[in-house]
Amino acid sequence: MIDPFHLEAYGKTTVNYNRDIEIFPVLNAIFEGIYGENPYKSPTDMGVNMAGFCISDDEVCCQASKDEIIRRYYTALCDFAQGKSGESEVNKIDLLMKQLKITTADRRTTVAAHERKEKEGVHSSAIELADGTIITAHTSALLGPSAALLLNALKHLAGIDHGIRLIPQKMIEPIQRTKVNMLHGKNPRLHTDEVLVALSMLSLQDERCEQALACLPQLDGCQVHATVMLSEVDRKIFKKLGIGLTTDPVSKG
């Protein structure tokens, strides 16, 4: 909020934290009680914020801020859908987005994932690579949208033909039987961690799997959107890979 103390003392409009502004009269009284006077005329006087001097490209920073707002909006939507937070958080960010004139359509992966879902009729996902390339994937009987997307992205980065199956179906099916019959799981599809383990095993005898795994570091900083809320396992894998993930507030049911 506007710092009224700074405005009164210097005639300059500055912005500061509301809590700092609210507590300044108390701090001012403490200074006057100890030293007889307060050397600071406002909360802004007391700030040591050098972040602005580190910005070399304001346009890039502004765009990154807008991207972060959209990511937080999706987080708020999912938290609300799961009963983790109230609607006020969603409304607050929604208002901020309106003020900045941005929408979820400004997130390229969101648009791509929704287009793939509309085309395939099942939950889908999309990733934006460092060079701006958009890769998409959809849910199948063998793989969830996140696991399929990870494989598609790695194949693209490694220059492997999309039609090649890095993990053969005969290897996936025994894993699915174990998950359902032995571990009593409801979802037979492979998660991202299971796909990476399978690739690691196959890399011992398949050079293409080895090449795909070697491309994992290139996913750091990439952006992903899925049309369904992902499992905790998948969310953690994306986080460990340094991927910015958003999802629609839709359950798998």
pLDDT in tens, 101-114: 999 999 999 999 99
Domain boundary among 13, 32, 49: 49
What is the pLDDT, as a whole number, of residue 253?
57
Task: Give Cα separations from 203 to 20, 174, 189, 200 (angstroms).
Answer: 56, 19, 21, 5
Spatial CB neighbours of 115, under 8 Å, sequence gap ≥ 6? 136
**Per the domain annotation, does 91 fall within a domain?**
yes
pLDDT of residue 104: 97
Mean pLDDT of the residues in the chain: 94
Write out the residue range of the structural domain in which residue 61 sits: 57-106
| Residue 252: pLDDT over 80 | no
- Same structural domain, 158 and 202: yes
Whether residues 119 and 205 share a domain: the answer is yes
Residue 186 has pLDDT above 90, yes or no: no
Domain presence at residue 20: yes
Helix (H, G, I), strand (E, B) or coil at 117: helix
Q: Say whether 245 sits in a helix, a strand or coil.
A: strand
The verdict on 102 and 112 lying in the same domain is no
Evaluate whether residue 253 is within a structural domain: no
Q: Is the pLDDT of residue 130 over 90?
A: yes
Task: Give the model's pLDDT for residue 89.
Answer: 94
What is the average pLDDT across 33-56? Answer: 87
Asked if residues 218 and 196 have their Cβ atoms less than 8 Å apart, the reply is no
252 within domain boundaries = no
Query: In this structure, are 124 and 240 located in the same domain?
Result: yes
Please say if the pLDDT value at position 43 is more than 60.
Answer: yes
User: How many domains does the chain divide into?
Assistant: 3
CATH number at residue 141: 3.40.140.40
Q: How confident is the model at residue 23 (pLDDT cuts 50, 70, 90)?
A: very high
Whether residue 112 sits in one domain with residue 237: yes
In the chain, the percentage of residues whose pLDDT exceeds 70 is: 99
Asked if residue 196 and residue 132 are part of one domain, the reply reads yes
Considering the domain architecture, whether residues 84 and 131 belong to the same structural domain is answered as no
**Does 23 share its domain with 122?**
no
* Positive or negative torsion for Cα 196, 197, 200, 201: negative
Residue 99: what pLDDT? 96
Q: Do 123 and 211 sit in the same domain of this protein?
A: yes
User: Are 10 and 132 within one domain?
Assistant: no
